[in-house]
Structure 1
Amino acid sequence: MPSKQERKGAYLVKAGQLFDTYDKILVVEIDNVGSKQLQDARRELRSLDSIVLCGKNTVIRKALKDRVAKKPPLEKILHALRGNVSFVFTRGDLREVRDCILRNKVPAPAKAGQIAQCDVFVPAGPTGMPPDLTSFFQALSIPTKIERGSICIVSDVQVIKQNERVSASAVALLQRMGIEPFTYGMKIRQIYEEGAMYEPSVLDITPDDLRNKVREAVDTMAAISLATGYLTAAAVPHILMRATRNVIAASIAADYDMPQSHALRELLSDPSKLEELVAAAAVTTGAAGAASTGGATSSAPTEAAKNEPAEESDEDLGFGLFD
């Protein structure tokens, strides 16, 4: 059997190889995570080409310090090496690994003195407890009544508040009712990827979010450039469009014919063509709207309206507007 010193040396070699090989590392907290739960997480993460490394912070810190000279970005992980943490080394997709880690949770009972993860309510209804325990509920200010020989809670009651310490009486009540309000699992603290360290919330950003942010930034840059008169690449398209409009307007005002303004000059010289263009645009818009709501159904009344004879006007009846 290898000695303690030999095991420590083998662990340092293994940890060093992992930090040298992998460029994507997740720093996770493992508070209140049992060995079986951790083993299940290892098994599931192995299918995502990931390895979980647990150990003493002092030993892992030594392995990191030995590698910082060759790989300086690893120094960022040293600052995250606080508390009960472990490392997940992966070559897979970070979002899939993150989901796998967060999915691996188990329910757990409340313990006296711990900080509550969430609000806990006792639901209304029968408890199955005998009437002689009514004083127990009265001590907790929980309204009850007796139904069919057992205690029944009248309405939902909050017994634990989030971020507050759990009382012994609340623990006793939850144990009697068989309620396990909390869940425990690994929590991702930070992510190291190719020399960069960031929060796990960054993984929630989608490509659409990035495109929208870039579009907003370009729009803002173009607006500032146009307002200050400082030329930038983002403002060039707007400047060219504005210059084109000014040239066309000057061409029309000076009665000077040019290819860019020829079509517009024809429309202005013959208003009937402009009316036809507006009518055609209205028909196109109406057809698109009809297609989106079921064009075949909406076109039937139009055809019926075309086939109906025109109504006679008041002039044909021989009456004026005020007769």
Structure 2
Amino acid sequence: MAEERHHTEHVPKWKKDEIANIKELIQSHKVFGMVGIEGILATKIQKIRRDLKDVAVLKVSRNTLTERALNQLGENIPEMNKYLDKQTALVFTNESPFKLYKLLEQTKTPSPIKAGAIAPMDIIVQKGPTSFPPGPILGEFQSAGIPASIEAGKVAIKETKVVCKAGEVVPQKLATMLAKLEIYPLIIGLDMRAAYDDGIIYGPELLVIDESKYFSDIISAVQNAFNLSVNTAYPTSATIGTLLAKAYAESKNLGVNAVILEPGVMDALLAKAHVQMTSVASKAADKDANAVDEDLREALGAAANAAAAAVPAAAAEVKKEEEPEEEEDDHSEEDGMAGLGALFG
């Protein structure tokens, strides 16, 4: 006990203040997380801190002091200590862990890779022209393992090539040429290791949400539920209008097909009877013109003339569609693509 008291007395005040500050930030925020800051310049961290100031507090401290603060708080919080590794920062917020993760992902930006660094993935240089004029740079590309030549007065990459495989060390010459080509293999930003929220620790694998797929799944679920409700005639506030419209249409069809003389179907029954009557009259008139009266003959003649006039017009329209001019065809294709774009967003 004496040794412990002696040790405590020699803890510098600034360390005690730092531990107290970390504890106060944890207790005053709903969520806190641990993030990796390896390889991030101090200027970048300052910018991220400013970008997050309205929704989160970013604090960089020594791992040993953070560990002491977590141990002193007790409960499940000390379990966050296992995520302390290398360069670590703490981030505090009153937003959900999922929103915090999304915000941290938005801080990540492409960055050039340094000589001697390990390639995190295959580094690929794509075939195509560059903005560099002919000169010594052509030899620099080739000595870095990038196939290049002169095309149309500019240096061009001759073929798409993997210039450094994942896990390999990036040579100095290659790192220099990648930077000149503005190829940035690294994604630098705050790397969420874990977030603590009300006794639950969330790893990054639980915080990754594909919002477009999530939204699509919700829409699909709503559509399926709606169809199920309508097809099983299960009334809800969302489907009652469709159910009533469906019931009305089905009852009207039944009334027409069963020739039920009700006010709601009389118009449809009369229209159906008129069509049937004109069909019978037309067949009778074909056999004997005197089989129908003058008024009915005029009505049948007007209908026949209208049908005859429609045939040449339809044929002309078909011919016009079959023999378009070459220039018009180009426009129609473009219009069609534009229409598809408008349809699918």
**Would you say same fold, with TM above 0.5?**
yes
Distance 1:307-1:45 versus aligned 2 partners, 3 A rule: farther
Residues in 2 aligned to 1:189 and 1:83: alpha-carbon distance in whole angstroms: 12
Structure 2: gaps spanning 5 or more residues: 1-10, 222-249, 258-270, 288-345
Q: 1:76 deviation in Å?
A: 1.5
Q: 1:209 deviation in Å?
A: 6.4
Counterpart in the other structure of 1:144: 148
Residues in 1 aligned to 2:183 and 2:138: alpha-carbon distance in whole angstroms: 19
Counterpart secondary structure, 2:163? strand
TM-score (norm 2): 0.55
Structure 1: gaps spanning 5 or more residues: 217-275, 284-301, 318-323
Counterpart in the other structure of 2:66: 60
Counterpart in the other structure of 2:170: 166
Counterpart in the other structure of 1:42: 49
* Alignment match of 1:177 (pick from 168, 178, 181): 181
Residues in 2 aligned to 1:308 and 1:44: alpha-carbon distance in whole angstroms: 79
Counterpart secondary structure, 2:132? coil
State yes or no: 1:26 paired with 2:53: no
* Alignment match of 1:187 (pick from 188, 191, 198): 191
Residues in 2 aligned to 1:97 and 1:307: alpha-carbon distance in whole angstroms: 71
Distance 1:65-1:132 versus aligned 2 partners, 3 A rule: closer
Residues in 2 aligned to 1:172 and 1:42: alpha-carbon distance in whole angstroms: 30
Counterpart secondary structure, 1:310? helix
Counterpart secondary structure, 2:95? coil
Residues in 1 aligned to 2:95 and 2:162: alpha-carbon distance in whole angstroms: 42
Counterpart in the other structure of 2:124: 121
Q: Give CA deviations for 1:85-140 in whole Å, capped at 9, x if unaligned.
A: 11111112434332222112344221122222344333411351534444444445
Residues in 2 aligned to 1:167 and 1:159: alpha-carbon distance in whole angstroms: 10
Which amino acid is 2:23 matched to? G
> In percent, how many aligned pairs have the same letter?
23
Contact 2:110–2:186 (CA under 8 A) maintained in structure 1: yes
Contact 2:33–2:196 (CA under 8 A) maintained in structure 1: yes
Counterpart in the other structure of 2:88: 85
Residues in 2 aligned to 1:96 and 1:59: alpha-carbon distance in whole angstroms: 27
Contact 2:112–2:183 (CA under 8 A) maintained in structure 1: yes
Residues in 2 aligned to 1:6 and 1:105: alpha-carbon distance in whole angstroms: 36
- Matches of residues 1-323 of structure 1 in structure 2 within 5 Å? 5-48=12-55, 50-68=56-74, 72-123=75-126, 124-147=128-151, 149-203=153-207, 204=209, 280=254, 306=275, 309-310=278-279
Deviates more, 1:54-63 or 1:78-87: 78-87
Q: 1:19 deviation in Å?
A: 2.7
Residues in 2 aligned to 1:278 and 1:167: alpha-carbon distance in whole angstroms: 80
Contact 2:115–2:175 (CA under 8 A) maintained in structure 1: yes
Residues in 2 aligned to 1:97 and 1:154: alpha-carbon distance in whole angstroms: 44
Pairs aligned (count): 231
Residues in 2 aligned to 1:167 and 1:307: alpha-carbon distance in whole angstroms: 89
Distance 1:306-1:53 versus aligned 2 partners, 3 A rule: farther
Q: 1:170 deviation in Å?
A: 1.8
Q: Give CA deviations for 1:11-34 in whole Å, capped at 9, x if unaligned.
A: 111112123333411111111112
Contact 1:131–1:150 (CA under 8 A) maintained in structure 2: no
Which amino acid is 2:107 matched to? N
Q: 1:195 deviation in Å?
A: 0.5
Which amino acid is 2:80 matched to? I
Distance 1:6-1:146 versus aligned 2 partners, 3 A rule: same
Q: 1:152 deviation in Å?
A: 2.3
Q: 1:280 deviation in Å?
A: 4.5
Q: 1:148 deviation in Å?
A: 5.0
Which amino acid is 1:9 matched to? K
Residues in 2 aligned to 1:89 and 1:156: alpha-carbon distance in whole angstroms: 44
TM-score (norm 1): 0.58
